[in-house]
């Protein structure tokens, strides 16, 4: 294998709920979910049944034919996300982009919720395969829509490793010379004045602002509501597209479907991946009604295939039926309250079940000790100075307590 990953010497072979098991049968508490991917738990029976049933019928055919599962996913996502009643900042629904059809079971206006693509008051859905691909297409779409080429991003941002996405990522170590671009302006984190200045600097050439409501890779940095509302205001004033990168912080993880919702605003494009498929590769863009599609504008071979759509629909239905957004909020509040009492932690930040614990100096190798001594998976950021907790949205109070106590023991050893 091309040696680009730093890996733990553990081979995980099975998983159930918030627990995973290695090749020797050792049991681990998974408080990381493979980078926030596992949203409804490992081996969820409804998810497994839906995927298995679809695979027994048809695993794949391309977007050259009608894929009915796309309409079903669009209707479900529109309802669960709230976009079926939010519209273009006020009203509308959602169906598969480019279909020209209403959601399955609904009228052309989308009476049963969902997203649509008739150029009216309805949100649209474009499906792809990953978070980087979602952001890549969102940036491209914003440029098509506005006819402009400049993008504003935020210091500390991580939007992916493909060409446009990595150019808007604030990490020179992963930006190859071919990816370098003068079209991206970085503004400091949470700095409204700098954001205003960036728009002036671009002289009317801003196609989009792309922003994570909570920066995951940067160490769970929460953008303030004032900053996000300023993004909305300035995009409106300058005719730019607001892209909300919800790859890690979205899909219900914060207690609302989109983390941006906490600022009481609406973006023009929401990008989704990770938790949307619970491990099945899936990326998506929810696109506002005023952004019009045309044939060939975007495209993908595998995106929106039958199996991926069934997987994502099952995830959304489990989140909705089992009240997992409320569980994420409740358990997340409990964990953050308890973690703030732990000696050795300087700061606890986040919302719902996207939590960062900034460690006091002198605490090295905490994630490794948690894994091998306590049998708890966590993530890290900022060179190991921040512990990232991104468990499944159905993690229980008892499991959360086990994780907090494990962290306490390691830090106080």
Identify the weakest region by mean pLDDT among 113-117, 335-339, 373-377, 380-384. Answer: 113-117
What is the tens place of the pLDDT at every residue in 159-187? Answer: 999 999 999 999 999 999 999 999 999 99
pLDDT (mean) for 61-67:
96
| C-alpha neighbours within 13 Å on the C-beta side of residue 142 | 31
The 3-state DSSP composition of the chain as helix, strand, coil percent (nearest 5) reads 35, 20, 45
Q: How confident is the model at residue 117 (pLDDT cuts 50, 70, 90)?
A: very low
What is the tens place of the pLDDT at every residue in 380-411? Answer: 999 999 999 999 999 999 999 999 999 999 99
What is the tens place of the pLDDT at every residue in 143-166? Answer: 999 999 999 999 999 999 999 999
Which numeric CATH code is attached to 323-384+407-413?
Answer: 3.90.1150.10
What is the tens place of the pLDDT at every residue in 85-103? Answer: 764 433 334 656 543 333 3
Which numeric CATH code is attached to 68-321?
Answer: 3.40.640.10
Contacts of 245 (CB under 8 A, 6+ apart): 135, 157, 159, 210, 211, 212, 271
C-beta separation of 393 from 253 below 8 A: yes
Q: How confident is the model at residue 60 (pLDDT cuts 50, 70, 90)?
A: very high
Q: Residue 274: what are its φ and ψ, rounded to 5°?
A: 40, -100
Question: 49, 114, 62, 50: which is closest to 305 by C-alpha?
Answer: 62
Q: What percent of the chain shows pLDDT beyond 90?
A: 90
What is the tens place of the pLDDT at every residue in 15-49? Answer: 999 999 999 999 999 999 999 999 999 999 999 99
In the chain, domain spans? 68-321, 323-384+407-413
Distance CA 129, CA 135 (A): 11
Rounded to 5 degrees, what angle do the CA atoms 241, 247, 252 make? 105
Quick check: 282 pLDDT over 90? yes
Quick check: 362 pLDDT over 80? yes
Q: Which two structure tokens, joined as six digits, stand for 59?
A: 């695993």
Distance CA 163, CA 167 (A): 6
């Amino acid at each position: 294998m091309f040696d680009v990953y730093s890996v733990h010497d553990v081979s995980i072979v099975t998983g159930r709920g918030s627990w995973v098991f290695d090749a020797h049968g050792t049991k681990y508490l998974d408080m990381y979910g493979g980078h926030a991917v596992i949203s409804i738990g490992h081996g969820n029976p409804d998810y497994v049944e839906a995927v298995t049933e679809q695979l027994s019928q048809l695993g794949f055919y391309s977007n050259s034919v009608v894929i009915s599962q796309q309409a079903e996913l669009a209707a479900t996502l529109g309802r669960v996300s709230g976009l079926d009643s939010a519209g273009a900042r006020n009203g509308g629904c959602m169906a598969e982009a480019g279909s020209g059809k209403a959601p399955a079971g609904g009228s052309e206006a989308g009476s049963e919720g969902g997203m649509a693509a008739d150029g009216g008051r309805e949100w649209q859905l474009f499906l792809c395969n990953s978070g980087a691909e979602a952001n890549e297409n969102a940036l491209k779409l914003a440029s098509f829509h506005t006819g402009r080429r400049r993008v504003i991003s935020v210091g500390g941002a991580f939007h992916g490793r493909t060409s446009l996405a990595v150019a808007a990522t604030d990490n020179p170590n992963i930006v190859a010379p071919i990816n370098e671009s003068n079209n991206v302006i970085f503004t400091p984190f949470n700095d409204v004045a700098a954001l205003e200045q960036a728009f002036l600097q671009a002289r009317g050439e801003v196609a989009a602002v792309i922003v994570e409501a909570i920066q995951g890779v940067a160490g769970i940095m929460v953008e303030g509501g004032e900053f996000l509302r300023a993004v909305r205001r300035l995009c409106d004033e300058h005719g730019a597209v607001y892209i909300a990168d919800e790859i890690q912080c979205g899909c219900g993880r914060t207690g609302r479907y989109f983390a941006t919702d906490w600022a009481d605003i609406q973006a023009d494009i929401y990008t989704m991946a990770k938790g949307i498929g619970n491990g099945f590769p899936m990326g998506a863009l929810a696109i506002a009604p005023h952004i019009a599609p045309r044939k060939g504008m975007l495209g993908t071979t595998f995106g929106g295939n039958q199996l991926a759509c069934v997987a994502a629909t099952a995830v959304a239905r489990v989140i909705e039926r089992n009240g997992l957004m409320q569980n994420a909020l409740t358990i997340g509040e409990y964990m953050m309250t308890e973690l703030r009492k732990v000696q050795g932690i300087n700061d606890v930040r986040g919302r719902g079940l996207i939590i960062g614990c900034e460690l006091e100096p002198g605490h090295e190798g905490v994630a490794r000790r948690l894994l091998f001594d306590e049998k708890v998976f966590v993530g890290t950021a900022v060179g190991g100075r921040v512990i990232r907790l991104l468990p499944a949205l159905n993690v229980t109070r008892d499991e959360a307590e086990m994780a907090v106590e494990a962290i306490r023991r390691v830090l106080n050893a």
